[in-house]
Amino acid sequence: MENKLSNLLIAGLAFTTFFTARSSPTAAQTTLVEERFNDNTTVGWSLGVANPATPFPCLTAGDAFTPLGSIGACNPAQPDPQGEGALRITTNETGQAAFGIYDFTIPSRSGLVITFDYFAYGGIPTGNPPSTADGVTFFLFSGETTNPQPGAFGGSLGYAQRTGGGNPPGLTNGYVGVGLDEYGNFANDNEGRGAGCPVTSPFGTGNTRVLDSVTLRGSGNGNTGYCYLENSGVLPQGIDEPDAPNREVAQRRLRITLTEDNTISVELDFTGTGNNFQQVLDPINLTAAPGQASVPSSFKFGFAGSTGDATNIHEIRNLTVTTIENIPTPDLTLRKRQIPASFTPGGTGRYRLTVKNVGDGPTYSPTTVTDTLPPGFRLASFTGDGWSCSENPQRTVTCIYSPEANNPAIQPEESRSVILTVNVPPTLGSYLNTATVSTTADENPNNNTAQTSNLLPPPPPICNRAGDICQF
C-alpha cells in the first residue's frame, strides 16, 4: 500500500521456503544493546515522522515520570504497567509513517545477532485481496552517517526509494533492510524500488503482492540501489494478528544473524517465546549479492513502520544486539567528589561525578550513573554537557550520558563529568553517599562504585548573654 507522505521531519528513525526448526546460534560474546522498551525510560534514539501532524514513536508504559531525553510517553495519563509496555511505532490510524534510529555505532565485522519482539495487531484491512498494512523494517546502515534520513514509506517500508510524491530517496547509506511486510509490496520493484540494480525482483515492477512475508533488500543510497535479495513467500502463520485484542496475542520474535563472513539469515518464532525459531530466509552472502556495497567500518541501525488506507498498530519490545566474536569492550570507572568537603545543614552542596573509560573499546550504549542520596537530601539541579538527570523516586538520582551527537560514545581514556547540586537537610550527622555507573558492554563491575561521606559541621555555639560560657 502506498502512502502519499514524503516530506520528512526529524526530531531530536530469491524466493525461499522455510519451516525448518532452528536451534540457537553460537552464543554471542558481547551484548552491545539491551533495550526492553517495556518501562517509562529509554535513551539513545532519534525519532521522526513523515507528517508532523501524526504521532511520533512512543513508549506505551511512559508516564509523568518519563525523563527528558527519553522516548516520550504515548499516554502518560493511562500508561501500561511498568514492565509490560512496548515501543509503539505507529497507531492503527491511516497515513502513519514513523522511524527510530539508534544513535550509537556498533561493530560491523564481528558478527551480529539481533533479536526483538514484534507486534502488529488491531488493524483495518483494505485491498484485493484484503490485508492490513503496511509493516515494519529493521535496517543497518553506515555508522559514519552524520544525518541519516529514512527511506520512503508505503511499500518501501521506510528503507527503499520510491518514485512519485516527490521521489523520496531510500535510507541514507543503507546496507541491508529486513521487511516484515503485511501488505506485500516490499517484495516487488514497483514505485521505483531497486532502481539501478543489476537484477530485478522476481515479482516484477507491477502490483504483485506477497502478503504476510519477510523480504530482504540490499544496500543503497539516495534513489539508487536497495536491490531485492530474497523473500520468504507467504507465511501461513502470518506476520500480524489484525483481530487480536491486545499485543500479547500478536507476539512474534525475530532473529537476524549476520556472521563474521557477512552471511545474513532471518528466523521467526511465531509463538514469541524464543523457543521455536523457524528459518524464513535462507542464509545469503551479502558480499556476493548483486549490487551490494562493501561492508562499512561500523553500523548504526533502526526501525521504520507505516500504515496507509489499511492499518495496524506496530510495536517493538525486547531488543538485544550481541556480537558473535569477542570485541574490545569499555570498562567504566567512577570517581565522586563532594564540594565543599563539609555541607552546611539547610544549605546546598555539590557532588562531582566523573566517569572514565579505562577499557580497550568504546561504549556502545548510553552510560548511566545512579546516585542514591542520603535521607533528607534532594536534587536541586545538575550541570554537564550531554547529561540528563532526574530524581525518581525520591533520593534516587539517575543521570544518563547520551548527547545529541553523531557518535555519543565514550572512547577509551576519555572522561565525562556531571555535577549534582543538592539541598541539604537541616539535621546534623554523617551520611554515606553511594553512586554507581553502568553501560551495556561493561563486564567489570569491580570499579563501578564510588562513595563519599557527607560530614556536617557542628552547630554554632549557644550563648545566652554576654559573659556566659558558650555551650557547644
Cα 276 to Cα 253: distance, rounded to the nearest angstrom? 9
Q: For the residues 238-242, what does the mean pLDDT come to?
A: 93
- pLDDT at position 403, please? 81
Q: CA 408, 421, 82 angle in degrees (round to 5)?
A: 60
Give 40-85 pLDDT, tens digit per residue.
999 899 999 998 999 999 999 999 999 888 999 999 999 999 999 9
User: What per-residue confidence (pLDDT) applies to 468?
Assistant: 53
Retrieve residue 221's grid coordinates.
Answer: 543510497
Q: What would the DSSP string read from start to end of 272-327?
A: SSSS--EEEEEEEEGGGSTTPPPPPSEEEEEEEEE-SSS--EEEEEEEEEEESS--
**pLDDT-wise least confident of 22-31, 121-130, 303-312, 385-394:** 22-31
- Residue 463 contacts residue 470 (beta carbons within 8 Å): yes
Give me the pLDDT at residue 453, please. Answer: 82
Share of the chain above pLDDT 90, in %: 81
Residue 109 and residue 159 in contact, taking contact as beta carbons nearer than 8 Å: no
CA 292 – CA 217 distance, rounded (Å):
10
Mean pLDDT estimate for the chain: 90
Distance CA 123, CA 242 (A): 5
Q: What is the 3-state secondary structure (H, E, C) of 329-342?
A: CCCEEEEEEEECCE
* pLDDT score of 15: 34
What pLDDT score does 430 carry?
Answer: 80
Instruction: List pLDDT tens digits, range 74-131.
Output: 999 999 999 999 999 999 999 999 999 999 999 999 999 999 999 999 999 999 889 9
**156-214: per-residue pLDDT in tens?**
999 999 998 899 999 999 999 999 999 999 999 999 999 999 999 999 999 999 999 99
pLDDT of 411 over the 70 cut: yes
pLDDT recorded at residue 3: 39
Query: Domains along the chain?
Result: 9-323 (2.60.120.200), 332-455 (2.60.40.1530)
Q: Is 67 exposed, middle or buried (0-12, 13-18, 19+ CB in 10 A)?
A: middle
- Residue 393 pLDDT more than 90? no
pLDDT tens digits for range 326-339:
999 999 999 999 99
Please determine, for residue 25, whether its predicted confidence score (pLDDT) is greater than 70.
no
For 230-254, what is the mean pLDDT?
95
> What average pLDDT does the segment 468-472 reach?
52
Whole-number pLDDT of residue 469: 55
To 10 degrees, the CA torsion angle through 25, 26, 32, 36?
40
Burial of residue 77 (number of CB atoms within 10 Å: 0-12, 13-18, 19+):
exposed
Confidence band (pLDDT; 50, 70, 90) for 39? very high
Per-residue pLDDT tens digits for 198-215: 999 999 999 999 999 999
Give the pLDDT of residue 327.
95
Confidence grade of residue 21 (pLDDT, cut at 50, 70, 90) = very low
pLDDT of 9 higher than 60: no
The identity of residue 434, as a single letter, is T
| pLDDT at 442 > cutoff 90 | yes
- Percent of the chain exceeding pLDDT 70 equals 89
Q: Give the model's pLDDT for residue 293.
A: 98
CA distance 108 to 294: 11
Does the pLDDT value for residue 8 go beyond 70? no
Identify the band that residue 26 occupies on the pLDDT scale cut at 50, 70 and 90.
Answer: very low
338-363: pLDDT as tens digits: 999 888 899 999 999 999 999 999 99
